[in-house]
Amino acid sequence: MGKATRQSFGEALAAIGEKNPALVVLDADLGKSTSTGAFMKKFPGRHLEFGIAEQNMIGAAAGLALCGKVPVAASFSAFLIGRLETIRVAVAYNKTNVKLAGTHAGIGIGEDGTSQMGLEDVAAMRALPNMTVLQPADDAETRQMTDWMVAHEGPVFIRLTRQNVDDVHDAAYRFELGKADTVYEPAGAKKGVKLQAAVFASGGTVGPAVAAAKDLFKRGFRVRVVNAGSLVPFDRDAVARAAADCQRIVTVEDHNVNGGLGSAVCEALAVQGLACPVSRLGLTTFGESATGPELYDKYGLSAPHIVEACLKNPG
Amino acid sequence: MPIATPDAKTDLKALTRELRVDIIRMLETAGSGHPGGSLSVIDMLAVLYFKALSHRPSEPAWPDRDRVVLSKGHACPALYAVMAKAGYFPKSELATLRKLGSPLQGHPDRLRLPGIEVSTGSLGQGLSIALGMALAAKLDGKPYRSWCFMGDGEVQEGQVWEALMAAPKFKLDNLVAVVDYNGGQIDGQVKEVMDLEPLADKVRAFNWHTLVIDGHDLSAIEAAYAEAAKTKGRPTAIIARTVKGKGVSFMEGDIGWHGKGPSKDEADRAVKEILNG
């Protein structure tokens, strides 16, 4: 098991701070949880604490950005989208160079329960023009996305896990905006024979998806796992390839199935006129308190559920 | 483009009459918009742009310019009139207000009109943005100031109080918040819809240097801006008592004129009155 992506993000920010004097980090009393502590320690003058007042933090970030700073405003993603209208006007509509870091994505956070879980944040952010939406799967991808995000001119939302995640990328991996990457391709695929399934996962669900594909491989089923780190813009070509190469698509996201990754995949199929059965694993309800792994089991995101979905068509 | 910035001897009173006429004609041509709040804030914007603001109309992106945030974005006809007069764009463009393709949107849009610092219109957001701008100036050791113009009804938004709390923490003495306290909002009188009083006491309790002025007294406005510039260590709030629709008797204090354009006849009557006033 690797690090939580929030942890990798915090370390990356502290490293970027050395090279980029315009970078400032804003917190709303959750610095200890969003992992901005390393930046805070190294650059106290560029860490701006706003207290429990996210709207003001986001608005101030827009003002800082309009004056040449590169502000990263961090909080739980559930609390950031609680201020959606502020994000809509001050960040998206104004096209300000604000980076929103939403941590504590999904039921993976565990015991703290529903009010702390970001479960609709991707849907909200996908609906905003000018917003880039990213969700890294592991340490390597988080570092690269963080570098990219700070260098990029324009609004970005990055979604991060509280829980530790498996490393699914090797050192050679290079993040590319708008591209999904295949993190597991089964060996021995025969020409003219479709793979059992393609699993599209993002963030905390990529590890379970790879585990499921490896398990299925042992049992004679070939399944591809695609990591959709770039949620907006979204890689429609990867979906078209999956529809061509595989019998079915399974999407798995620690988020509501409406408006998130599952929706993005179905939209990509529909607008390209492609037909392929899709099972969407994710939430249709709120969450609850328990350990993260227990909740992944209960809400259908763990490897055994992904295995099951790969073996049959939906419905 | 010639810069029409008047010098110290300019007759500000005559200027504000001209700007009021521009507002009325603009709204008449547009057929919709917000005369009440434009006429209540115009004197303060006029004094700002022609007496206090550090800016270069021919170079709207000048890095050291003062930043102006019209948080009460619906009053943009007033801002457009002032900007045209100052030379940001030709006065003839005022006639395009609210029309397809115009840089003069129904609420200010920074990506369409150079000189607009931030797109506004969702009430309650501007002070946070102005605060961020003032904070950037402090972080960079720059001399520019940040000015935020809010409506009174807008102060009912929770975000305003978050920003009021934060600005003194960051010691933003380069930030000025002006409240255009005209007493009216869409659903009625502010004091009945959701009373703000005692507003000056509340803002003072949040550690702002707080002034209460007559927002139509040009020399009082100028003096308040000068006092804000001299105040060190904390931000300044100027609570300006104003009259909604000021300068046009049939609009003054009438909530009905919050958000509608005058007819040709109404506009003619209004202009006649302004020029005789």
pLDDT tens per residue, chain B (277 residues)? 334 454 544 699 999 999 999 999 999 999 999 999 999 999 999 999 999 999 999 999 999 999 999 999 999 999 999 999 999 999 999 999 999 999 999 999 999 999 999 999 999 999 999 999 999 999 999 999 999 999 999 999 999 999 999 999 999 999 999 999 999 999 999 999 999 999 999 999 999 999 999 999 999 999 999 999 999 999 999 999 999 999 999 999 899 999 999 999 999 999 999 999 7
Is the CB of A89 less than 8 angstroms away from the CB of B132?
no
Query: Measured between alpha carbons, how far is residue A295 from residues A109, A114, A165, A195 in Å?
Result: 9, 11, 15, 29
Residue A226 predicted with pLDDT over 90? yes
Domain range holding A269?
181-311
Structural element, H or E, at residue A181? strand A181-184
| pLDDT score for B7 | 52
Confirm whether A68 is domain-assigned.
Answer: yes
Q: In chain B, which residue's Cα lies nearest the Cα of A50?
A: B166
CB spacing of A68 vs B117 below 8 angstroms: no
- Tell me whether A73 touches chain B (CB under 8 Å): no
Domain range B12-276, CATH architecture: 3-Layer(aba) Sandwich (3.40)
Q: Tell me, what DSSP letter sits at residue B114?
A: T
Q: What is the CATH number of the domain that holds A253?
A: 3.40.50.920
Q: How many CB atoms lie within 10 A of CB B223?
A: 14
Output the CA torsion B214→B216→B219→B222 (10° steps). Answer: 90
CA distance B226 to chain A (A): 24
Task: Please give the helix or strand (H or E) that residue A26 lies within, else none.
Answer: strand A23-27
The neighbour count for residue A182, using CB atoms within 10 Å, is: 13
* Domain identity same for A226 and A285: yes
Letter string b/e over residues A211-250, b meaning 16 or more CB atoms within 10 A of that residue's CB: bbbebbbeeebbbbbbbbbbbbebbbebbbbbbeebbbbb
* CB contacts, 8 Å: B68 with chain A: none
B197: closest CA of chain A, how far (Å): 23
Same domain for A145 and A185, yes or no, is no
| CB crowding A87-118: b at 16 or more within 10 Å, else e | bbbbbbbbbbbbbbbbbbbbbbbbeeeeebbb
Contacts of A313 by beta carbon, 8 Å cutoff, 6+ apart: A248, A277, A279
Minimum CA–CA partner of B125 in chain A: A59
A65/B132 CB distance under 8 A:
yes
Q: What is the pLDDT of residue B2?
A: 37
Q: Can you say whether residue A310 is alpha, beta or left, with left for phi > 0 and alpha for psi between -120 and 50 degrees?
A: alpha
Q: Are residues A153 and A28 in the same domain?
A: yes
Shared domain check, A152 and A283: no
How close does chain A come to B131, measured CA to CA in Å?
A: 6
The reported pLDDT for the residue numbered A315 is 78
Question: Residue A196: CB partners within 8 Å, gap ≥ 6?
Answer: A216, A221, A222, A223, A246, A247, A248, A310, A311
* Cα B261 from chain centroid (whole Å): 19
Q: Which of B122, B130, B158 sits opposite A89 (nearest CB)?
A: B122
Q: Residue A273: helix, strand or coil by DSSP?
A: coil
Compute how many other C-beta atoms are within 10 angstroms of the C-beta atom of residue A65.
Answer: 29
- What CATH number does residue A63 fall under? 3.40.50.970
pLDDT at A64 over 60: yes
A56/A135 same-domain check: yes
- Among residues A153, A11, A30, A197, the alpha carbon closest in space to that of A102 is found at A30
Report CB contact under 8 Å: B125, A53.
no
Q: Where are the beta strands (DSSP E) in B32-164?
A: 67-70, 146-151
> What tokens does A46 get?
């560029």
Q: Is residue A285 part of a domain?
A: yes
The per-residue pLDDT for A171 is 84
> Quick one: which H or E segment has residue A230?
strand A230-232
Asked whether residue A70 is domain-assigned, the answer is yes
> Would A174 be classed as within a structural domain?
no
Mean pLDDT computed over every residue of chain A: 97
Say if residue A23 is in the same domain as residue A153.
yes
What separation in angstroms does the CA of B154 have from each of A8, B35, B72, B125, B170? 40, 17, 7, 9, 23
User: Are A256 and A284 contacting, i.e. CB atoms less than 8 angstroms apart?
Assistant: yes
Could you tell me if A94 and A129 lie in one domain?
Answer: yes
User: In angstroms, how far is the first alpha carbon of chain B from the final one?
Assistant: 31
Residue A47 has phi, psi (to 5 degrees) of -105, 120
Sign of CA dihedral A116, A122, A124, A125: positive
For residues A110 and A290, what is the distance between their CA atoms, to the nearest angstrom?
5
Half-sphere exposure of A9 (CA within 13 A, CB side): 36
- Domain co-membership, A16 together with A155: yes
Chain B positions with Cβ closer than 8 Å to A: 63, 67, 69, 110-111, 117-122, 124-137, 139-140, 146, 158-159, 162-163, 165-166, 170
Please tell me the total count of domains within chain A.
2
Active site residue A153: no
Residues of B in contact with A67 (CB under 8 A): 67, 132-133, 136-137, 140
Q: How far is B94 from chain A (nearest CA, A)?
A: 22
Domain boundary among A159, A189, A206: A159
Query: For residue B42, what is the enclosing H or E element?
Result: helix B35-47
Q: What share of chain A is helix, strand, coil (3-state, %, to 5)?
A: 45, 20, 35
| pLDDT, position A314 | 87
Q: Is A63 close to B166, i.e. CB distance below 8 A?
A: no
| pLDDT for residue B224 | 98
**A11, A18, A49, A54: the active-site residue:** A54
Complex ipTM > 0.90? yes
Residue A167 lies in a domain: no
**pLDDT above 50 for A250:** yes
A61 close to B (CB below 8 A):
yes
For B135, which of A55, A60, A85 is closest by C-beta distance?
Answer: A60
Phi and psi, residue B189, nearest 5°: -75, 140
Best CA proximity match to A3, nearest among A146, A143, A171, A163: A163
**pLDDT average, residue stretch A115-142:** 98
Whether residues A9 and A138 fall in one domain: yes
DSSP string, A91-147: IIITT---EEEEESBSGGG-TT-GGG-BSSHHHHHHTSTT-EEE---SHHHHHHHHH
A55 touches B: beta carbon within 8 Å: yes
Q: Is residue A95 situated within a structural domain?
A: yes
